[in-house]
Amino acid sequence: MKDDHIYTTEDGSEPFRFNENVARVFPDMLRRSIPGYAASIEAIGSLAARYVRAGTTCYDLGCSLGAATIAMRHGIDAPCCRVVAIDTSAAMIERCRELIEEDDRLNGPETQVDIAQQDIRDAHVHNASMVVLNYTLQFIDPDDRDALVQRIFDGLNEGGLLVLSEKVVDENRHMESLLVDLHHEHKHRNQYSNLEIARKRAALENVLIPETVAAHRERLAQAGFSHSAVWLRYFNFVSIIAIR
């Protein structure tokens, strides 16, 4: 794992992209940028043990380097399952393949993993007992989000689980300002400079488009999910579980 120094040189004028430079430092970027990220990955493994049923498929949509894929794979207790990991970025998929192959060597391929470079809006979800959107929906055009969540719901078996982790905005402007400040302090504690923070924020403008928790839960309800709840929140980052 290499340290993230991307925005010591890049000035933030170009939109953020999941390219080779980002793939090279992505684990460090996540660790230093997203509070609670490790807890969300750990929980994905625990949820897989609880919800994945024999003979079903799990999906990691927007898999990046496959952290959630590996967590599901290690958590699955049921036989004859597989995990489908999908991402549109060639650089992310290439590195994901390497990490899955390494996991095969270290732990043995007890659960099959299929990796595909594809736009998740075109993914076919079928016979699913668990789907993960881990900080992915926020990068999808807002006009396409309802249809994607509906497609996920339609592909989930009864009792199936969706894990949706996102950066959010608070409906209260005062609290939103506080949460943003606390997040920046978190980045400072992880050795990001003010310049790096400002440059990355500029690069993410109109690329990462967050919504409120209420908007996410309303979308889930409209898609047909019977139950949803925020199970993890750290500043302006949340993880929601929804059950069909």
24-72 per-position pLDDT tens digit: 999 999 999 999 999 999 999 999 999 999 999 999 999 999 999 999 9
Residue written as token pair 């925005």: 7
Mean pLDDT (the chain) is: 96
pLDDT tens digit sequence for 202-236: 999 999 999 999 999 999 999 999 999 999 999 99
pLDDT at 173 over 90: yes
pLDDT at 23 over 90: yes
Neighbours of 9 (CB within 10 A): 9
What distance in Å separates the CA atoms of residue 180 and residue 170, rounded to the nearest whole number? 10
Give me the domains of the chain, ranges plus CATH numbers.
6-26+170-204 (no CATH), 37-167+215-243 (3.40.50.150)
CA-based end-to-end distance of the chain: 37
Neighbours of 14 (CB within 10 A): 9
pLDDT at 100 over 80: yes
pLDDT at 183 over 80: yes
- Model pLDDT, residue 110: 79
Distances (CA, A) of 239 to 33, 168, 225: 15, 10, 16
pLDDT band at residue 129 under the 50/70/90 scheme: very high
Neighbours of 150 (CB within 10 A): 14
What's the average model confidence in pLDDT over 151-172?
98
The model's pTM is 0.95
Neighbours of 234 (CB within 10 A): 17
- Model pLDDT, residue 167: 98
- Model pLDDT, residue 1: 66
pLDDT band at residue 109 under the 50/70/90 scheme: confident
Neighbours of 105 (CB within 10 A): 8
Q: Find residue 38's DSSP bridge partners.
A: none
What distance in Å separates the CA atoms of residue 103 and residue 81, rounded to the nearest whole number? 17
Q: What is the DSSP string of the chain?
A: -----HHHH--S-SPP---HHHHHHHHHHHHHHSTTHHHHHHHHHHHHHHH--TT-EEEEET-TTSHHHHHHHHH--SSS-EEEEEES-HHHHHHHHHHHHHHHHHH--SSEEEEEE--GGG----SEEEEEEES-GGGS-HHHHHHHHHHHHHHEEEEEEEEEEEEB--SSHHHHHHHHHHHHHHHHHTT--HHHHHHHHHHHTTTS--B-HHHHHHHHHHHT-SEEEEEEEETTEEEEEEE-
User: CB of 225 within 8 A of CB of 242?
Assistant: yes
Q: CA-based angle 71:72:74, to the nearest 5? A: 65
